[in-house]
Amino acid sequence: MRQDIDVDVHPAYPMSWRASVFNGLMRGTTKPMSALLLRHTAVMSLVSRLVAMGERLPLPAPAGVSIVKEDADPCGSEWVRAGADLDEDKVLLYFHGGGYFFCSPATHRPITWRLSAAARRPVLALDYRQGPAHSLAQSLADALGAYQGLLDKGYRACDILLAGDSAGGHLTLATLLALRDRGLPEPAAAVCLSPWADLSDGGRRANRWADPMLTASRVDWLARRWTAGLDPRDPLVSPVYGDYTGLPPLMVVTGSTEVLRDEGRRVAARARGAGVRVTYEEWHRMPHVFAILADILPEARLVFGHIQRFLDAVAAADPAAASTAPAAGLVPAPAVPGDLQASAANPESGSAAA
């Protein structure tokens, strides 16, 4: 089954008109605003507070999706379940993105409930500590603590998946490296969506003008902010420089025009060089962490079918993980809203042009 996991994929779906419109809107609003405003720690604190206020809006979960706060965490971690027929002996630990200074499990529910359906297991979305009040080391400590907490609850490492987007993708990779270095059991697999993997001072050149959302100079500024006083090439600071020997299968998803694309490519190449099975997917002209736009973009809904296929291939290749996995092939998602079921049934053949 190695060939089913260790692949490069460039999905050939035609770009939807919704994606074209969204890219244009972001290029004219979010990108110039971030370039203008994201220049001081006080602005980061303000953005974080504004997003937190928005999270208080009573937005209902989709039918068939349950969201329950984690009892052991007063800060806001939550359990997300999509459908009733989930394997409660398994879990996916999710780290949200947000540049390490904003967003939360609540902002990333469009991703987490769909991951629950694709992985056919509950998702624990972690509310880890973020800047500017907290450091990268504290974020990593929270991630490792959450993983250890799952082991303490009786979950087998082979029944745990890790996933994250952007800064959460960084945290996913750093957690994998730290677990290996500490001699702790690794999860069955990990999924990184547009991972921010290089916080060194090299400067970003690729897609500086093509990215519709992120400004390369502001990403560089954030990297300098979080690495002050640290070695920016420490693998736990910049996982792109890590030794991936002994890590579990990895899936990396990027957009072809985002400024972080090359970091995803480098992670995939470095992991493969260390013998890790990697699925690398690069989606044509998709924005940063486009999966979070699944309520809007058809391409974002389709990517969860690709993730499900990767996870099924991992389970089929690992006898321990496959002991309670479906017998073969892709299985329709649980009885949740229909967008995922349609894409998961055949992730290669659909059209995103709607």
Strand partners of residue 9: 281
Catalytic residue check, 166: yes
Residue with tokens 């999860």: 187
Question: Can the peptide bond before residue 249 be classed as cis, meaning omega within 30 degrees of 0?
Answer: no
Catalytic residue among 48, 104, 166, 194: 166
Contact at 8 Å (CB) between 163 and 94?
yes
Q: What contacts 191, CB < 8 A, 6 or more positions away?
A: 115, 161, 162, 163, 164, 172, 250, 251, 253, 307, 310, 311
Query: Cβ atoms within 10 A of the Cβ of 32, count?
Result: 12
Please choose, from the candidates 220, 199, 202, 139, the residue with its C-alpha nearest in 3D space to the C-alpha of residue 172: 139
Secondary structure string (H, E, C) spanning 285-342: CCCCCHHHHCCCCHHHHHHHHHHHHHHHHHHHHCCCHHHHCCCCCCCCCCCCCHHHHH
Strand partners of residue 190: 162, 250
Contact at 8 Å (CB) between 119 and 161?
yes
Dist. CA 67–CA 112, nearest whole Å: 10
Dist. CA 268–CA 248, nearest whole Å: 12
**Residues with catalytic annotation?**
166
